[in-house]
Structure 1
Amino acid sequence: MRGTRTNGQSHDHRKERAMQETLTITRRRLGAASFAVLAMAGLLSGPDAAAQDAAFPDRPLKIILMFPAGNGLDTSTRSFADALSKELGQPVVVDNRPGANGIIAFSAVRQAPADGYTLLVGSSSGITIPVAYGKTLPYDPFRDFKAVGGMLRAPAIFTVPSNSRITTVKTMIEIGKTKPTPLTMATYSDGYYLTSQRLANMAGIKLQNVPYKGYNVVLPDLAAGRVDLAYGDATATQELIKAGKIRALAVTGTTRHPNYPDVPTVAESGLPDFSYYSWDVFLLRSETPAPIFDKLKAAVRRVLNGQEYPATLRANGSEPMLDDLPAIQKMMTDEVVLYKSLIAATSAESR
């Protein structure tokens, strides 16, 4: 025979039920709060996330550039921003973040949301060169960012003083092999320095690097004959060459430069395996959602294949970088390997 509940037992049972109901309500509230936090962090997928991706972009975008306003790349970036704005139907603003060899610009994008609204212009000086030198960075250029498209590439030029005995790459090699001391080569970036050493290795000569802080300081010293050769941007030398103050020796592209049709390439001049282009690509944070990434990739591609932006580049001696994304990735990884080998061979120190 079952016993009947006492008043104390009934009271205990009601208390236990009340506690269970409180725990259930608390769990529900915590679940809702957790859902809200995850949704705010962009960690949940679903109709809302898909709607946001479909609406992209619904506000202005920003392109961060690691160089100051007013230089050639700044001009090209602003031209691209105007063209991209027309494609996307939203303003695209260029934000110059120079300094610290690109660390300031790269860090700004790394700290921005991975929502596609902040792009970065990346070049060898911010990606391949620091990796090749094994520099410690507050980010990983290859892991934390991914290319969404090319931007431009530009060949460089070797120049000499107007009264130099060096008239061709062939005579440079001949003089370099017989001169008791190395020829002096003025450069102003790690990329130019390392690839000048590659040229020296191919030619079987030694080049004494003379580091400068900028091309604007290199060219007057070259014209005055204080260095034997200079190596750098092909566009900036145009006026001095026209004025007869310096002479063009060779360009580094695979074809002749449109602004210097009578100047041979290095490959034409006896070193068939040598070519070099400075380059710039557009990067996004690697966590950018695929639908947004794909929209931007398509928009960048349309600008590169359009009329306006490529015409602006070619007028300045550059060209649109039309490589697909796997080719860009391969180019960057191959460049790291090349630079590492040059650094090891020359005991080069970063500038």
Structure 2
Amino acid sequence: MPTVKSIVLAFATAASAASVDSKSHAGSDVLTLGVLGDYGWTGWEPASLNFCNNVMPRLVANNITIPRELQNDCDAGDRGNIANATAEQTATASYIGKVCAMKNCSAIVSVGDNFYSSAIDFSTGGVNRFEEAWSTMYKGGIFNNTRWYQTLGNHDIVKGQAGVDFQTKIAPPVRQPMGLPYYTYDLAGKDWKATFAVVDSDCFINKYQEDTSVYQNEYTLSCYKDKQVQVDFVEQAFAKSDAQWKFLQIHHGYMSSSTNFTELAPFVEIVEKYKGIVVNGHDHCLAHYYSNNTNFILTGGSGYAEPGDCNYGVALGPYAKFLGANSQGAGNGFVTMDISKKSVNVEYYARDMSYEGGDLYPVKNQMKPIYSFMVDARK
């Protein structure tokens, strides 16, 4: 029987990635990152319609406890989306590979929801899904030379501690300190450095603490009690860093056209203090928000894009600088960040998609950004 160490090495090999650190890119003027999220649909098999519609209600009526992950696998919306979502993840993975090859991406930054609908754990099903939805999905070409820096999203923690352990201690090729779901890493070029602080925003969402929430489990209950630890971690990481650029990598959005998670204010206050940038997902679309001199980059359109999450392209206020959606559809894609001493150039890429009945979100040239903005170091 293989040892745990052998299994860890096997996973690291399957998701092969070259290290991205201060030394390996010390001579680069510009470093390009691919930033994506909300993509992990492939391999998910929902519970049967008969169980969800007929059996589960009877069990609940008889006060029989239904595991959270089973409840989540009966989610009607996710069930209805699975076919299109799987196709979109597959096509978008290929598209990301092409754009990143063109731009020579050095690393992939993930903002969570790596495995819908109820995550993975260290089981046969979990191992198989990891292989199908990640190891073999993002493989070949540019992916073989890029390191992934993962974030946990709400779907990634449905199975509780077991699911968190799988993704933080076994699967990710990046080694997170002590296997914790929050960590920091530095990327550097010839004359600049960037510090990324990664946190698990699931630990801060109040409604996830309610008995009725599928995200309430031993993990979220425990980390909610200790959430100040993550806030202090980010403060210390930014305070100690001599990096020119500072990024908060998180799943839920503080600025949003769908749901503003105001519980994340302690993190945003730190970002504002150190003139940082926020990258997040959760909303299934692409957007740029700007508030209190802070840029918020939403890149949640790498799996199943939903126009409602970007309010169908209608800005609700001046803080919404770009919404990758219209009245019928949303852009399916990701974001790249070109980091240099002088600036961070942020580009939004969406692939042209055709559906039965027409193209709901037309893109004239999918190899060019549909929107971009630049953060100037002098400002």
Query: Fold conserved (TM > 0.5)?
Result: no
Question: TM-score, normalised on structure 1?
Answer: 0.25
Structure with higher helix content:
1
Question: Looking at CA atoms only, which structure, 1 or 2, has the larger radius of gyration?
Answer: 1
**Highest relative contact order (Cα 8 Å, sep 6+), 1 or 2?**
1
Question: TM-score, normalised on structure 2?
Answer: 0.24
